[in-house]
Chains A and B, each alone.
Chain A
Amino acid sequence: MDYLTVIQILDSALRLATPLLLTCLAGLFSERAGVVDIGLEAKLLAAAFLSGAVAHTTGSIWIGLGAGVAGSLAFSMLHGLASITFKGDQLISGVALNFLAAGLTVVIGQAWFKLGGRTPSLTPDERFSSWEPSFTEAMSHIPVIGPAADELIAGHTVLTYIALAAVPLSWWVLFRTRFGLRLRAVGENPSAVDTAGVSVVALRYAALVIAGVLCGLAGTYLASLAAGFVKDMSAGRGYIALAALIFAKWRPWYALYATLLFGLLEAIGNRYQSISVGDFVIPVQFMQALPYILTVIILAGFVGKAIPPRAGGQPYVKER
C-alpha cells in the first residue's frame, strides 16, 4: 500500500464521516437534553429526499438545502410532539418515525417523479461543488505534503467544512454557554431545572430544533454527494451515528474521532473486498459489522464505561 493510496483512503474516510458527524452531533444535542433519538435515520431520509427533489425542481442546491432542513425539522417536531408534549415513549416514537420516513419518501417520490421512488439525477450545478483553492493546487507538486493538502484539505464540499466547524461550536455551546449548561441539566435532572424556573419543555424542543437542522445538513449532503435521492439511501447511517454517539460517550470532540474511525472503517471496507493478515483473511462482512461490534463492546463497558445522560428516555412530568 503506497502513500497515495493511504491519502485516498483518508480522503474517502472524511467524505464518509461527514454525514455521520453531523448526525452524531444532532443526536448529541437531543440526548444531552434527555430526548433519546432513534429517529435520526428518519430525519436523514426526509432531508435527503426533499433536498434532492427540490434541488432538481428549482435548480438550486441551496433551496434544496432549505427544503431538506425543513423536512428534517418537521420529523424532529413530530418526535417532540409525541415524546415531550404527549409524554409518549421516545423509543417507540423514534421507531415509528423511521418507518414513516422510509415509506413516505418512496411513496411521494414515486407520485412526484414516477421513477420508482428515485429523484431525477442532479446536474453538477444542482449539487454542492467542492472547494478547490489555488494554494493547494500550487502545492500539489510538493512531495508528501502536496497530495495530502490536495486530497484532504481541499476537494470537499461546504458541508464537510461546516461539519468540522460544528464540533468546536457544539463544544462551546454545550460547555461554555448558559444555554448549554441548562440543556445538559435538563438531560440529567429536569426537575432541578424546572425548580429553577426554566422551562424543560422549551429546552427539549430547542435541542430537537438543533438536531433537526444538523440532520437536515447531513441528509442534504447525502443527496448532493450521490446526485439525487434513492430509496433507503441513508443505509443505516442514523443508527451508525447513534453507535458513534455512544462510542463518543456523548461528547463533541470524541464524536469527531468516533465518526472518523467509522468513516475510515467504511472506506477500507469499500476499497478492499477482503483483507488478508498473514494467512488469515478478514471477510468484507466483518468490516461492515465492525462499527456495530465495537459499539456493543463499548456498551458492555469493557473499554471504559459509556454512561448516558441520566434522564434520557423519560418524559418529564411536573410534580403537582
Chain B
Amino acid sequence: MSKMPKWADAVLIPLISILLAFFFSGLVIMAIGKDPIVAIKTMVQGAFGSTQGIGYTLYYATNFIFTGLSVAVAYHARLFNIGSEGQATLGGLGVAVVCLAVPWPHWTLALPAAMIGGAAFGAAWAFIPAYLQAKRGSHIVITTIMFNFIASALMGYVLLNVLKVPGSMAAESANFGPGAHLPTFHEMLAPFGINFNKNAPANVSFLVALLACVVFYFLIWRTRLGYEIRAFGQSDTAAHYAGINRVRIVIIAMLISGALAGLMAINNVMGEAERLIDNAVEGAGFIGIAVALMGRNHPIGIFLAAILFGFLYQGGAELAFWESIPRELIVVIQGLVILFTGALDNMVRAPLEKLFIALDKKKEA
C-alpha cells in the first residue's frame, strides 16, 4: 500500500529534509552575525573554485564514501553500526602494518595488499560486536560505541609503544617507503595534459571508492547474500522462517561493514599521510552515518551525499580561514542533516503522504 510515488520517497523527502537542515544552518550563521550568502559563496569557491579545492573535496569524499557504504550495508540488515570510526582506525593499523612490513617495489602491488590489510583489520574489529549481537544479544549500538573508545586507546598504545620511531618525539609510525606511494590526481592527470594541483591529497583511492559503490550495488541487489541481508533487515522472523540463518547474516553484514570502514585507510593513511598518525580518521566514521542516512543506503545516494559532505568539509576549512567562522559549523550542519533526514523523517513524510493521498482522491473524483 504505497501512499506516494516511489520518486517522492527516494528524492523528494531527502531533498526537503536537506533543505530544512540547510535552512537551520543558515539561521545559525545569521545568529552569530555572519551572512549566509557570503558563507555559501566562500564555501563553493573554496571547494570547487580551484583544482586544489576540488582535490581536497574529493579526498574527503573518498573517506565518506567508504564509511557511508560501511554504515549502509549494516543498515540494510537493520544493524546500526556506530563503530565505523573505530573500524576505520583499526583499518589504518592494518594498512600501516602491510606498508611497513614489506619494501614494496610498486604501488600496484602495495595497494591490493594494503586493501586486504585494512579490510581485514576493520572487519576483525567489527567481528566481536557482531558476534556478541548475534550470539548473546548484546546491543550492537552500545558495543560499537565502546569499541570506538577501545580502538582509540589501543591506537594510542600501539603508536607510542610499538610503531613509534625510536628517538622521535611524535607518536606516529615511520614513513612508508616510496613503493607504497599512491599516485595523486596530479600524477594521474599529468599524462593527459591536465594540470591538477600538486598539493591536493586526492589520489587513486577515489577510483577504488567508486568501484566499491558498484560492487556494493551488485552485492545488495543482485546476489543471494544481499537478498538475505535485506530480507533479514525487513523482518527478522520472516527471514528466519525462510531458512535464513540469523547469526550468519548479522556476522557477515557486520564483517562487510567493518571491512568497508577499514578500506578507508588506503585513502587517509596510505594516500595522504603516508604514515600512521593518531586520530587519522578525524570523525569520518561518524559522518558515514549522515552520508548513509542522506543517501538512503543506496550507492548513488551515498556517492552524492559523500561529495556534499566533502564540499562541506573543504568549504568549512575555507570558511574558518576567510570568514573566521569556526570549522565546528560543519559539525552543526552534520547534526542537523542527521536530525532531519534520520530522526525527524516522519515530520516531513506525514504531511507529504497526506498531500499525495489528497491528490489521488482528486484524480479519482
Contact = CB atoms under 8 A, between A and B. Distances in A.
Interface in B84-139: 128, 132, 136-139
A164 interface: no
Contacts of A100: 331-332, 335-336, 339
Contact of A300 (B32, B136, B145, B150): B136
A286 B153 contact: yes
A243 B139 CA distance: 12
A230 to B, nearest CB: 13
A115 to B, nearest CB: 11
B150 A293 contact: yes
Nearest to B329: A107
A308 B139 contact: yes
Interface string A182-198: 00000000000000000
Interface residues of A, number: 49
A295 B144 CA distance: 11
Interface stretch (B177-185, B247-255, B340-348, B353-361): B340-348
Contacts of B329: 103, 107
Interface in A226-281: 231, 236, 239, 242-243, 246
A96 B147 contact: no
A286 B156 CA distance: 10
Given A92-B343, A107-B328, A108-B32, A243 B146 contact: yes
Contacts of A54: none
Shortest Cβ-Cβ A-B pairs, 7 listed: A103-B331, A99-B335, A100-B335, A103-B332, A93-B343, A111-B32, A289-B153
Contacts of B338: 92, 95-96, 99
A242 B139 CA distance: 12
B150 A299 contact: no
Nearest to B82: A95
Contacts of A38: 141, 145
Task: Describe B's contact surface by its main secondary structure.
Answer: helix
A90 B80 CA distance: 12
Interface stretch (A81-89, A119-127, A146-154, A204-212): A81-89
A76 B143 CA distance: 24
Interface residues of B, number: 49
B37 interface: no
Interface of B: 28, 31-33, 80, 82, 128, 132, 136-139, 141-143, 145-147, 149-150, 153-154, 156-157, 160-161, 286, 289, 293, 324-326, 328-336, 338-339, 342-347
Contacts of A106: 326, 328, 331
A86 B149 contact: no
Nearest to A306: B138
Contact of A299 (B139, B344, B345): B139
A108 B33 CA distance: 10
Contact of B132 (A231, A239, A288, A296): A296
A94 B283 CA distance: 16
A171 interface: no
Nearest to B330: A103
Contacts, number: 153
A97 B346 contact: no
Given A242-B145, A292-B149, A285 B339 contact: no
B43 to A, nearest CB: 15
A103 B153 contact: no
B342 A89 contact: yes
A173 B162 CA distance: 51
Given A95-B289, A107-B325, A286-B157, A300 B138 contact: yes
Nearest to A283: B157
A299 B82 contact: no
A301 interface: yes
20 contacts: A82-B344, A88-B346, A96-B339, A96-B343, A99-B331, A102-B335, A103-B331, A103-B332, A104-B28, A107-B328, A110-B326, A111-B31, A242-B142, A285-B156, A289-B149, A293-B150, A296-B132, A300-B132, A300-B138, A301-B138
A117 interface: yes
Of the candidates A38, A99, A236, A296, the one having the most CB atoms from chain B within 10 angstroms of its own CB is A99
B284 to A, nearest CB: 13
Given A88-B343, A239-B149, A242-B145, A107 B335 contact: no
Contacts of B342: 88-89, 92-93, 95-96
A103 B347 contact: no
Contacts of B332: 99-100, 103-104, 107
Contact of A102 (B143, B328, B345): B328
A266 to B, nearest CB: 13
Nearest to A117: B326
A91 interface: yes
Contacts of A103: 328-335
A92 B31 CA distance: 26
A98 interface: yes
Given A38-B141, A300-B138, 15 more contacts: A86-B345, A88-B346, A89-B342, A92-B342, A92-B343, A93-B342, A99-B286, A99-B332, A103-B333, A106-B331, A283-B161, A295-B146, A296-B147, A301-B137, A308-B139
A83 B331 CA distance: 21
Nearest to A293: B150
A226 B325 CA distance: 26
Nearest to B32: A111
Contacts of B339: 78, 82, 93, 96-97, 100
Contacts of A299: 132, 136, 138-139, 142-143, 146
Nearest to A281: B161
B328 A86 contact: no
Contacts of B150: 289, 292-293, 296
